[in-house]
A and B are shown apart, each in its own frame.
Chain A
Amino acid sequence: MKTYLLPSIKMTIILLVILAGIYPLAIAGVGKFTPGHGDGETISYKGRVVGYANIGQKFTKDKYFWSRPSAANYQADASAGTNKGPSNPDYLKTVDAAIDTFLKHNPTVTRSQIPAELVTSSGSGLDPDLSPAGAQIQVTRIARVRGISAEQINGIIEATTEEPLLGMFGPAKVNVLKLNVALDELTK
């Protein structure tokens, strides 16, 4: 073992310099040239940073598109899922409660129209997206509260929806923060 101890220590030191020092610094250097300059991409409204493009935030007011329920309550320094199992009776009660809340705020909607993501929590608790169906189902409510036409809001959804990768791979989605910024811009 002794024969190998000193080389092991020396090799560890030199590899620490290369792998933990130089390598991430080089990547940080490249990161300066990315859209968010390596700090994360932000979205501004009226000259103020209102959020990170990729990080979901809580929307509970009726005039905004709601985000998904979140185990982390959208605290972006403590990402978490509920980790509830599919058969857990307490968990199923919270889903049931989320359905009731949604129906109360969206009286024109029937149960079978609610897409699952609106009553279940995401893995990170910071999911920034909804499926297009998850946004469309909220249009009637927002139109009523804001006093604008449903067509205008549907237009925003259509313009904000991101199609599958190359049009072929993965689900279509729509970023809730971008939707809501567009809503505010429409009625400012």
Chain B
Amino acid sequence: MDSGVSVGFLRGAGLSLAGAASFTLDQEARRLESRVHSREELAAWRDGGSVLEDLEDPHGHGTAVLSILLDQGRAGAGVEWYVARVLDGRMRGDSLCLLEALEWLTQDVRPDLINLSLGTAGRAFEAPLTALLDRAVEQGSVVLCAAGPVSGLPSGLPQVVTVADAAMARALRKGDIVDHVEDAATVRLYADGAWTERPLTSSYACALAAARVLREGCPPGWRHVTAPQRTR
């Protein structure tokens, strides 16, 4: 779940998405819009037969995260990939879009693994967010979330595995809200039309941890992180 995906990356990687959706909030009209695309529509997009602007990643963050999952996860052909776009070209979105995307994922997709390299410092929607994450966990999903620079959501919630890079973990004093630290200094990812090496951030650390789950299976304790184990 991120800022969409570059269709050029999908073509280059030969990746077929099983499903994808975009979620936007029209602040003036106060309406939340959802666009859910079928596998066939996504195949036509990837093959150049159509344009899906609402899914195209204008920032590159979502593409970079997906590229880490693909490159490091080494997932087999049986893995189905879903993309939910909730962030715009400035890498911003609205928490309502996150809620709607989680509604779509938990109702229609029921994924094994959810990567959330995003967050918000606001807590107004903590209750519905918690309920949706509860549903995801009850369905068996492992939910990984990047730690933010300040206390926020969904990082730190008991339903998610909160991941940070080493610098972030030091700053947050690991043990407060961070469940897992990725120690790599850099990561290989796809950005600006090519594979490159970039410094690790909490977003990319989250994707690395998710790739670890794809590659090696879910580590003990990640499937259910219980609230009493940590304080904020």
**Are these two chains actual partners, yes or no?**
no
